[in-house]
Amino acid sequence: MAAKFETDYYAELGVDIKAPREDIKSAYRKQITLWHPDKYKPDNNDNFSLEDFNNKFQRIQKAYEVLYNDITRLEYNNTRAVNIIKPISDQVSIREFNKNRNEYSYSCRCGDLFTITTDDIAEGYNSVECPNCSLSIVVCDLENIV
């Protein structure tokens, strides 16, 4: 059984899952400036305590550490896909997908299509969500695709 997923690091930094490293760094700098504990002023922050600032600051730090490093980001993305997005219903070989230019598609049992692009594969993604239902699959046999 997979561990419970605690934090969405993309949401912590306010970036998209496909954000390039430059955007992650920029968002990190913005967030860290806003939430630095030295910026805490009790009179101006009635809704937040100093402890809230410290916790948010630490979550932003951790998000940046994970997302800015390509290896830990890939591991995080795979864990994220399994634990918070949608439950994995099956593993499907890329050979079972239909190829159209740089996109691969596979029929979902709801009638819609799972799709993955060669760019997604090159970035290390191997799980695909159905846009219409709650299913998600892991795509295997991706070696030598890109």
- Residue 41 confidence class, pLDDT cut points 50, 70, 90: confident
What is the domain extent for residue 48? 9-68
Report if residue 19 sits inside a domain. Answer: yes
Q: Work out how many domains the chain is built from and give that number.
A: 2
Give the pLDDT of residue 30.
93
Q: Tell me the three-class secondary structure of the chain, residue by residue.
A: CCCCCCCCHHHHHCCCCCCCHHHHHHHHHHHHHHHCHHHCCCCCCCCCCHHHHHHHHHHHHHHHHHHHCHHHHHHHHHHHHHHHHCCEEEEEEHHHCEEECCEEEEECCCCCEEEEEHHHHHCCCCEEECCCCCCEEEEECCCCCC
Range with the largest mean pLDDT of 5-14, 22-31, 70-79:
22-31
Kindly state whether residues 104 and 130 are assigned to the same domain: yes
pLDDT in tens, 45-94: 566 778 888 888 999 999 999 999 999 998 888 777 666 555 667 788 88
Report if residue 134 sits inside a domain. Answer: yes
CATH of the domain at 92: 3.10.660.10
Report if residue 47 sits inside a domain. Answer: yes
Report if residue 78 sits inside a domain. Answer: no
